[in-house]
Structure 1
Amino acid sequence: MQTRNFIRCAAVALSALGAVPASAGTSDGGIPEFWTCSGSCGASGADGVVPLAPGGGSAYGWISTWGSTAQAALPGVGTGGADVNGTILRSVSFDAAAGAQLDFRFNFVSTDGDGYADYAWARLLDQDNNQVAMLFTARTTEAGNAIPGFGLPATQATLTPFPVPIMDGETKWAPLGPDSDECYDVGCGATGWVRAQYAIASNGTYRLEFGVTNWDDQDFDSGLALDAITVGGAPLPIPEPGQYAMLLAGLAVLGVMRPVRGAGRGRCRIGRRT
């Protein structure tokens, strides 16, 4: 408990000293270290129909069905028939207090259409990878809205805008490989950047999962861009305790940092030596 309190205080101190970046450039250095990718993942600057994310950094992360031989499907949804491919990306574990706001941006792009309903999603998982919340779903559709995805679990995050139609034919995006700027009939396109916000209900250890899958065949790829991920206002990836220890050593020359006794959890005092 004492270690965790000092980690919380470190976050406060580092933010005050400018060590925590103001923008949430989750993937400025590529997919963050220790995140796990099953399939095809990467990072990119503004490209084609996907500009930089509002509130993000100089690059965004992406996952795609192109170049992936991995299997990816939402539990209980399945794939609809033939063997398909997809990608699942999971973040490092992070601690969050009850009421902490999870906030991120995403953009779904699909070259498929006319009955081939590729889809993407994000979930909040607990430390054992059990689902805590279905944050959003997006799906290729011939008519109507791409978000929420039809025939998929209900969305639990607050999405802005909502609902979201597809921008017809907007598919020029390098992570889609040879299918970039292609379109299989009605329904292909991009959603544009959408903001997702979710209040975490209980204290705990969590991770984020992002996924995208082809539906019913492996032709005409789809992908998902993501960025600007914060929890309680702090950008992910949250530094591990060992990283905080190294950063805290540097605070010795600036002042004293300690939890405030009797002031409740999460309260910290930062002051100079006298």
Structure 2
Amino acid sequence: MLATCAAFSTLAAPAFAGTFDDGMPAPWRCTGKCGTLGANGVVRLAPGGGSAYGWISSYNSGSQVALPGVGGVGEAANGSILRSVSFMADTNAALDFRFNYVTTDGAGYADYAWARLLDADDKQVALLFTARTNENGNAIPGFDMPPPAATLTPFPVAVAPGQTMWAPLGPDSDECYDAGCGATGWVRAQYAIANAGKYRLEFGVTNWDDQDFDSGLAIDAFTVGGAPLPIPEPGQYAMLLAGLAMFSVLKRLAR
């Protein structure tokens, strides 16, 4: 019975650990350059997050990715996409997470990043936010970008100029091309998922109109309905409850 309880404890552990504390979770899928990292350069650990955060970067990504029809004049040169593990959400479940956008590219070549909520068929439910600088120093809303569907705190999201020292940007770390370079710092994103079902999150970053200079996005502190990702499937919850009940019985017998 002790072995069984230990097995249930192991099963339950990932649901309550920081999403990226043990590296990139196996069910997450990356196209391009993604990874995990502790506090580094201008990107410290996320409030409410774990001992590491996830990141995506356009540096050395080699993949042409962007949001269809978004970006204005020009085209995507290269970038990366990261999709999360699938998770279950109840009606009006509260999605909550943090992100930090860092860019070395500015002016008319400003790159951009985004987050989307996708359904079980990988169709867009909501474009949660886009991040791209504009002439006023804001990253959200940036130029030629749609408004965010998520509630962001703070908002509008400003860029701290020149704050670009961050390892995922490779040799462009601590560099800056024209006005608009910098980091947003950690921003909180909140969104109410209207309908119950299975979903996943998508994060992307694109190097716009050229492959010079790079941008990246750090992410962490995910919860859905108050539960951290990865969220166990309903069957796992039942097994967890059974294991906890068994553990309570053992405690009583040991008295």
What is the TM-score with the length of structure 2 in the denominator?
A: 0.87
2:150 paired residue number: 157
1:243 positional shift: 5.4
CA gap 1:116/1:243 in 2 versus in 1, 3 angstroms: same
- Aligned-pair identity (%): 73
1:195 positional shift: 0.1
CA gap 1:79/1:86 in 2 versus in 1, 3 angstroms: farther
1:190 paired residue number: 183
Question: Counting helix residues as a fraction of each chain, which structure ranks higher?
Answer: 2
Of 192, 204, 210, the match for 2:203 = 210
Provide the rounded CA distance (Å) in 1 between the counterparts of 2:116 and 2:14: 29
| SS across alignment from 2:169 | helix
What is the TM-score with the length of structure 1 in the denominator?
A: 0.81
Q: Is the 8 A contact 1:116 1:140 kept in 2?
A: no
Query: Which structure 1 segments of 5+ residues have no match?
Result: 1-12, 257-271
Q: Is the 8 A contact 1:112 1:140 kept in 2?
A: no
Render the CA deviation track for 1:146-177: whole Å, top value 9, x for unaligned. 11232122211110000011100000000000
Provide the rounded CA distance (Å) in 2 between the counterparts of 1:159 and 1:52: 18
1:186 positional shift: 1.2
1:248 positional shift: 5.3
1:222 positional shift: 0.1
Render the CA deviation track for 1:93-133: whole Å, top value 9, x for unaligned. 11101111000000000000121120001010101111111
2:74 paired residue number: 81
Q: Is the 8 A contact 1:44 1:60 kept in 2?
A: yes
Bigger mean CA deviation after superposition, 230-239 or 78-87: 78-87
Provide the rounded CA distance (Å) in 2 between the counterparts of 1:231 and 1:62: 20
1:205 positional shift: 0.9
Q: Is the 8 A contact 1:169 1:183 kept in 2?
A: yes
The question of 1:60 aligning with 2:30 is answered no
Bigger mean CA deviation after superposition, 145-154 or 27-36: 145-154
Query: Which structure 2 segments of 5+ residues have no match?
Result: 1-7
The aligned amino acid for 2:176 is C
Provide the rounded CA distance (Å) in 1 between the counterparts of 2:76 and 2:154: 33
CA gap 1:98/1:219 in 2 versus in 1, 3 angstroms: same
The aligned amino acid for 2:156 is P
The aligned amino acid for 1:191 is T
How many pairs align? 242
1:26 paired residue number: 19
Of 100, 113, 126, the match for 2:93 = 100
Provide the rounded CA distance (Å) in 1 between the counterparts of 2:160 and 2:113: 16
| SS across alignment from 1:195 | strand
Q: Is the 8 A contact 1:84 1:215 kept in 2?
A: yes
Provide the rounded CA distance (Å) in 2 between the counterparts of 1:244 and 1:70: 38
